[in-house]
Structure 1
Amino acid sequence: MSVVQATSEQKYHTSLDEIDRALEELEAAKSRFQQTSLNEWMNLVESCIPTVVDSAREWVDAACQAKGIAPGSTIRAEEITAGPAAALRYLRLLHDSLKDIAKQGRPQLPGPIRQEPGGRLFVRLAPVKRRHDALLFTGTTSDAYMAAGVTAESVAVQEMPPHLSGQGGSPRISLVLGAGNVSSIAMTDTLTKIFQDGCLVLLKMNPVNEYLGPIFAKGLAPLVDAGFLRIIYGGAEAGQHAIAHKSTDEVHITGSNFSHDAIVWGPPGPEQDRRKRENDPVLDKPITSELGNVTPWIVVPGDYTEKQLQFQAENLAASVMNNVSFNCLATKVIVTWRDWPDRQRFLDKLQAIFDSTPPRQAYYPGAADRFREFAGKEPTGVPEGTLPWTLIRDINPDESPMYVERESFVCVTTETALEADSPQDFLKVAADFTENRLWGTLCAAVMVPQSFRKSGENKKLFDEFLARLRYGAIGVNQWPGLVYGLMTPPWGGHPGSTLDDPQSGVGWVHNTFLLDGIEKTITEGPLTASPKPVWFPTHKNPEPISWKLVDFYAKPSTWNLVRLLGSAVKNGL
């Protein structure tokens, strides 16, 4: 069995005949997939770990070269932590869950299940003790906020997927349309579909990062050799052919809502509009998706120390600068209270980080045009091929609705100052604003001083505020990018989206505890932390720490943990 690969002369092209053969090979492997035992699934997960490790250096080097990241640059750490390190963490956590299923029938949760006064259930997802998360993500917790009606009893008896519970199930073939920005997305989407959703996968690489396809074929060689994975390349024609193929049972896409709508309803125009009105989709098979977001960073007004303001300004800067802002979770709108005394001082700190950080190569197609549209100016004063970090203060959403209705997918961040009678009233106004004005349901960040929540009434108001936010992931004093990297929380848009209004998408990936009935996750971190997180743009030497994280997930020994923590202290203070 083979993976469809291409030489450099072929420019990663897969012919339609080769796509047909790849799907035929997946069809032929369905019987083997159905007969795979839980122990064999565990062995497959475990066998992927060394092959991903062996591919890690080539993976990172290829991504850095494509994105214009120079050897020795501190930015290389991004490609490590959001590449092989993320994939290895997923594999380790999933292997833990499969071992739990084998021994106890279901994954063992890392913390308590509690019921809040409002009646909703909270299920702890992190820190994971056996992965030493309390040391790696100091002070960080993550909880699943469960849907109405979910009880502790129903969580305790949730059924496992048929292929993991000895029932075999009916294997399906899922076409995964890979993301072109963050390198681990296509891999972890593929792993989620195979191991958790019980699908064989045809992975179509995105043309932007198709150079990773041959590396992924080596990293996931155990799945390729088993016949459960095939990788293809190409543009719209290849994608359309694979989507329409009779062997493709379902589709998963990470991309834009425009791409989603073209798949589901056909090309833009009157016919697409008609199909939406009459609920007459072109696509006749299930689709799941992650489609981006106009991500807010909501600043709850209050008393912050100078150290807290500086740390959170760096945290916010990281959310904008990571991957040159070509992230669906990059902050696009900073939401403040107009009367907050520290408003301008906080924004000045953010601007100072922007001013002191060199611009980066804008590698994603169309970035310069999007910059001109959203910044309202030419990208002057920076080297050719780069774009300046841009903060636009005090926008009026009524006068400039594009900032709140469309994801720019470029390094332009705005701030809007809301009118409110008090900090308490600001919570209601901010919740109204995100619900009624901002496009997307993927994630949001909320910055809040501890002093605000000291009073019982304020704590109640803040909890009600979090309950109102319609996002799949909420980070409190934490960039939601960490939620993606933790892997135990599910990643995707808030439930309730529909095909004709998908917002940030339908369905979840990750969710290594295989938990059903989640409405959203709330991940909270401290207002300051030391050592400095490796994803901060102000970190002086994050690459050695990042490689030691890979070493730790490759071989999670006490020695590798000590080496990792020592490197974090040495390089991160």
Structure 2
Amino acid sequence: MSAELSGTEPNRTEPNGAELNGAQLDLALAELGEGSERWASTTLAARADLLARTGACVAAEAKRWVTAASRAKGLHKSSPLIGEEWLTGPYGVLTSLTALRRTLRAIDGGHSTLASRRFGRAPDGRVTVAVLPLNRYDGLLLHGFRAEAWLRPGVTAAQARDRAGLGQLTPTTNGGVGLVLGAGNISSIAPLDVLYELVAHNRVSILKLNPTFDGLLPVYRAAFAPLIEAGLLRIVTGGADVGGYLAHHPGISHVHITGSAATHDAIVFGGSRTDAPRFTKPISSELGGVSPIIVLPGRWSARDLRYQAEHVATMRLHNGGYNCIAGQVLVLSATWPQKAAFLEAVAVALAAAPTRRAWYPGSDGRMRAARTAYPAARLLPGGRLLVAVADSATPAASWSTDDILTTEYFAPVLGVVELQGSGQAYLDAAVETVNRDFLGTLGANILGLPSSIRRLGPGFEQAMARLRYGTIAINAWTGVGFLSAAAPWGAFPGHTMDNVQSGIGVVHNALLLDDVERTVVRGPFRPFPRSIAHGEWALLPKPPWFVSARSGALTARLLTEFAARPSARKLPRILAAAFRA
């Protein structure tokens, strides 16, 4: 039995040569226990100041952070894809630190974190809270994008205001010491999880890095030095034995994992799945899934087809395809006259995207498995695979358990499913299909002409209410929700340890909302200036996170510098770079 499962003492060596053994881990946990007591006696104002100092250290390490993450992924320093590392690395952490700091100051001043937020209504009386734009700069730099958190049915606006703040409403409560098992694909995930544990739950953390990011250890330690020096964070490396030892350690009160359901189940069930979990500690998680891209039929121009094909390519190929919310299956109307033209545009966009090596462990094996399962799949330049799972002549029962629907490939594989119908009937069928047949509930994407959505009217919003996903992106990618500091991020509520699907709980959520059901992101069907022709007022050009954005690296770096020290004087240069995308 492995140490991951048995909790036996590890004995490993960190990249810097320091021996990492059980005694040293015990000492780290003891120091964190003392730190948790200090945090419980720290004022809200002092907490906000600590986050400000941490933000300054993150900003100082940003360039080194991006260099180390790029090296881990085999990106050349001149690659336009470097922009991904800026946005999903220091930028995401800096925006979260700023938002959390403002939340702490609001609560310290006796205000609800929602005092200046706009409330709305969603189907079945749900209360919604605007979470993007969070400030006036968001409104300009992400002009045309917005997001709302939908609260669970029955929660009132007054209750939302009273409950917002989570652990900071009772700051003297000691949340103990938690274990954060870090992700190995996006470099901001583990730090964001640590910050959320600290602020939302008053819980200090020992962070075990995924071995993929061991090379970032010195960067993380420098970037988060204020938290480490305060005894609120320890960062360690190691394999499954270290994770297992810590998870089962009596000094750990809670575990948070970002990764796969298999790793979650190894901890919870101890290697062999039983009827009841063996793990008795509370555990939260974000575990990915199979994300659909539902396309509404309509009369699209050639440029519409091309742009949205690049959008789909971004959803699939961002970070090389190694994202928990990478779009994995296109859902199309079998009777859409432009179906073939769109699929060809998607194939062209996938083939044209910048090439990169398969850097995430196990990718080659997963690609081989996909090619074995789908021998007729279309192999595209760059090693991308386009899979036609089913068409209108295929009975749904024969593909509802298909690999592409029930396996998160975590590789550049894109599937296609066709359904009968048009209009509301097609949308309802698509919602029913993805709810029933697709693995997980983390994120779903909807693409459609604004005129098509307007024609559906209330039926469209009702369909969104029936779509059981933690983040729904309409004419946007769910990655926008991930990068929005105040947007709650996690699976649709209701999963349990013995049926975990995409995970349990939420993170990010800088307004510290309680009773969240989902986040809904809305973007423009086309960027400026074409957005105006579609009746949308959106000034953002092609987003910098698109894999086809030529100036993505420069724009992302400038956005990170802006997040570190916002100034109106920096805006013209950012916008000029963005318009060169």
TM-score when normalising by structure 2: 0.91
8 Å Cα contact 1:62-1:211 kept in structure 2: yes
Aligned to 2:163: 158
* DSSP-derived class of the 2:486 partner: coil
Distance in 2 separating the partners of 1:522 and 1:198: 28
Deviations 1:37-76 (CA, angstroms, capped at 9, x unpaired): 0011100111111100111111111111121111211011
Is 1:293 the counterpart of 2:293? The answer is no
1:98 aligned partner, one-letter code: L
- C-alpha distance in structure 1 between counterparts of 2:243 and 2:12, whole Å: 16
Looking at structure 2, the residues matched to 7 and 436 of structure 1 have their Cα atoms a distance apart, in angstroms, of: 44
Of residues 98, 105, 111 in structure 1, which corresponds to 2:104?
A: 98
Matched, 1:477 2:483: no
Q: Aligned partners of 2:15 and 2:389: how far apart in 1? A: 48
Inter-partner Cα distance in structure 2 for 1:165 and 1:516: 12
C-alpha contact 1:26 1:173 (8 A) present in aligned 2: yes
8 Å Cα contact 1:311/1:527 also seen in 2: no
Q: Are residues 1:108 and 2:104 paired?
A: no
2:192 is aligned with what amino acid?
T
Alpha-carbon spacing, 1:480–1:264, altered in 2? closer, same or farther (3 Å): same
Q: Does 2:43 match 1:37?
A: yes
Moved more, 207-216 or 464-473: 207-216
Out of 562, 566, 578, the position equivalent to 1:568 is 578
- Structure 2 residue matching 1:29: 3-state secondary structure: helix
- The 3 A distance-change label for structure 1 pair 5 and 107 is farther
SS of 1:30's partner is helix
> Do 2:293 and 2:329's aligned partners in 1 also have CA atoms closer than 8 Å?
yes
Rounded to whole Å, the distance in 2 between the matches of 1:161 and 1:418 is 43
After superposition, the C-alpha distances for 1:438-480 in whole angstroms (9 at most, x for unaligned) are 010000000121112333xx21111111000000000000010
How far, CA to CA, are the matches of 2:122 and 2:287 in structure 1?
Answer: 31
Aligned partners of 2:165 and 2:513 also within 8 Å: no
1:323 maps to 319
Identity %: 33
Report the CA distance shift for 1:117/1:541 in structure 2 as closer, same or farther (over 3 A): closer
Structure 2 vs 1, CA of residues 356 and 387 (structure 1 numbering), >3 Å: closer, same or farther?
Answer: closer
Contact 1:62–1:212 (CA under 8 A) maintained in structure 2 = yes
**CA 1:159/1:381 → structure 2, altered by over 3 Å: closer, same or farther?**
closer
The match for 1:549 is: 559
Q: Corresponding residue for 1:388? A: 383
User: Cα deviations across residues 484-541 of structure 1 (Å, max 9, x unaligned)?
Assistant: 0012111110000011111100000000111111111110000011321111111112
Q: Residues 71, 117 of structure 1: CA spacing in aligned structure 2 closer, same or farther, 3 A cutoff? A: closer
Name the counterpart of 2:307. 311
- 2:543 pairs, out of 525, 533, 546, with 533
Q: 1:125 aligns with which of 131, 144, 147?
A: 131
Measure how far apart 1:21 and its partner are: 1.1
Partner of 1:414: 415
For residues 227-246 of structure 1, the aligned pairs below 5 Å read 227-246=231-250
Whole-Å separation in 2 of the counterparts to 1:171 and 1:558:
39
Q: Does 1:261 align with 2:265?
A: yes
- For residues 7 and 335 of structure 1, the distance between their equivalents in structure 2, rounded to whole angstroms, comes to 45
| CA displacement, residues 167-189 of structure 1 (integer Å, 9 cap, x when unaligned) | 50023111000000001001101
Are 2:176 and 1:172 equivalent residues in the alignment?
yes
* Structure 2 equivalent of residue 495 of structure 1: 493
> Per-residue displacement from partner, 1:347-391 (whole Å, max 9, x unpaired)?
11111112223431111111101001113389x9999xx961221
- What is the distance in 2 between the residues matched to 1:470 and 1:267? 29
Structure 2 counterpart SS, 1:252: strand
Q: Which residue of 1 aligns with 2:197?
A: 193
Aligned 8 A contact 2:183 2:209 in 1: yes
Classify 1:359/1:7 alpha carbon distance in 2 versus 1 (closer, same or farther; 3 Å).
same
Contact map agreement 2:106 2:113 (CA 8 A) in 1:
yes
Q: Give yes or no for the alignment of 1:451 onto 2:451.
A: yes
Determine if the alignment matches structure 1 residue 283 to structure 2 residue 279: yes
User: 3-state DSSP class of the match of 2:191?
Assistant: helix
Deviation at 1:116, TM superposition (A): 4.0
| CA distance, structure 2, for counterparts of residue 523 and residue 178 of structure 1 | 26
Whether contact under 8 Å (1:359, 1:382) holds in the other structure is no
SS at match of 2:517: strand
Please say if residues 174 and 252 of structure 1, whose CA atoms lie closer than 8 Å, have aligned partners that are also in contact: yes
Residues of 1 paired with 2:542 and 2:481: CA distance? 18
Which letter maps to 1:285?
K
1:5–1:27 CA distance, 2 compared to 1 (3 A): farther
CA distance in 1, matches of 2:57, 2:461: 44
Structure 2 counterpart SS, 1:181: coil
Shifted more, 245-254 versus 194-203: the winner is 194-203
Residue 77 (structure 1) shift: 0.5
Partners of 1:490 and 1:510 within 8 A in 2: yes
**Residue 433 (structure 2) aligns with:** 433
| TM-score normalised by length of structure 1 | 0.92
Greater Cα shift, 44-53 or 303-312: 303-312
Q: Does 1:509 align with 2:507?
A: yes
Measured in 1, the distance between the counterparts of 2:171 and 2:75 equals 48
Give the secondary-structure state (helix, strand or coil) at the position aligned to 1:122.
strand
Deviates more, 1:65-74 or 1:503-512: 65-74
Partner Cα separation in structure 2 for residue 88 and residue 55 of structure 1:
11
Q: 2:383 is matched by which residue type in structure 1? A: P
Q: Is the CA contact 2:113–2:161 (under 8 Å) kept in the aligned structure 1?
A: no
Q: 2:63 corresponds to which residue? A: 57
- Letter of the structure 1 residue corresponding to residue 249 of structure 2: H
Report deviation, 1:30: 2.5
Name 1:217's counterpart in structure 2: 221
Structure 2 CA distance, aligned partners of 1:90 and 1:241?
A: 30
Q: Counterpart in 2 of 1:143?
A: 148
Question: Shift of the alpha carbon at 1:166?
Answer: 5.7
CA gap 1:253/1:361 in 2 versus in 1, 3 angstroms = same
Matches within 5 A, 1:330-409: 330-376=326-372, 388-395=383-390, 398-399=398-399, 401-409=402-410
Does the aligned pair in 1 maintain the 2:165–2:200 contact within 8 Å? no
SS in 2 for 1:157: helix
Separation in structure 2 between the aligned mates of residue 284 and residue 55 of structure 1, nearest angstrom? 38
What displacement does 1:6 show?
6.7
Q: Secondary structure at the match of 1:125?
A: strand
Superposition CA RMSD, Å: 2.3
* Contact 1:335 1:418 survives alignment (8 Å): yes
- Would you say the 8 A contact 2:471–2:481 is kept in 1? yes
Q: How far apart, CA to CA, are the structure 2 residues paired with 1:548 and 1:154?
A: 39
Q: Which moved more, 1:555-564 or 1:134-143?
A: 555-564
Cα distance in 1 for partners of 2:405, 2:170 equals 48
Instruction: Give 3-state SS (helix, strand or coil) of 1:14's partner.
Output: strand
Counterpart contact for 1:122–1:143, Cα < 8 Å: yes
